[in-house]
Amino acid sequence: MKEILLATSNQNKVQEFSKILEPFMIKVLSLKDLSDQSEVRENGQSFKENAFLKANYYYKRYQMPVIADDSGIQIAYFNDYPDILSARFMDHLDYPRRNRLILDIMKDIKDRRAFFIAHLTFLKNGERFDYEGVVEGEIASGVKGDHGFGYDPIFYLPNIKKTMAELSEDEKNHVSHRALALKEFVHDIQENHIL
């Protein structure tokens, strides 16, 4: 079993990464496993910059293969906001309230396009690898489903006719933005032996 450190304290992400990488004999260590409560300032201007900031901080600290994810939602009607601010956007509210507010604001809006984006940066032995996954969807007309986290209950997938939160964990791990980016990472591990 090979080990990588996932530079996040978001346990939902740890669970997703672990599930997706387990079949490839990759064990995902989390910051929690290392009792590391440090936080990296995400002051980059893009998902890519923030993913690198996180990966690089822990890579320097632990000198082991590190992968970091920075992800979020872009809502076309909000000019792609909240984008890299997805976690901080209205964070005085919990997600059910944030989601309701978005639905209220968009009640009569026709352009409902939204995107989930995940950028992964992997660092090992001084080398850097980047991957990106994008899922196109729509802001749903109501809150639906209770799987997943964050904006999942209002992110509707027209092809599947379900919100991301209506998908089981396994289903989400086939179609999500993180899953798509991780697919490329796994491909690089298998074909180019980067781990």
Catalytic annotation, residues:
70
Task: Report the alpha-carbon angle 151-149-83, nearest 5.
Answer: 40
Q: Is 86 in the site for ligand IMP (CB under 6 A)?
A: yes
Q: Is 157 in the site for ligand IMP (CB under 6 A)?
A: no
User: Using CA atoms, how far apart are residues 61 and 45, in angstroms rounded to an integer?
Assistant: 23
Q: Which residue number has the CB closest to ligand IMP? A: 150
User: Using CA atoms, how far apart are residues 178 and 174, in angstroms rounded to an integer?
Assistant: 9
Q: Is 99 in the site for ligand IMP (CB under 6 A)?
A: no
Among 152, 163, 179, 180, binds ligand IMP (CB under 6 A): 152
| Alpha-helical regions (H) of 22-130 | 47-62, 95-105
Q: Which two tokens stand for residue 107?
A: 């009640």
Q: Is 85 in the site for ligand IMP (CB under 6 A)?
A: no
- Tell me which stretch binds ligand IMP (CB under 6 A): 27-35, 103-111, 147-155, 181-189: 147-155
Q: Is 78 in the site for ligand IMP (CB under 6 A)?
A: no
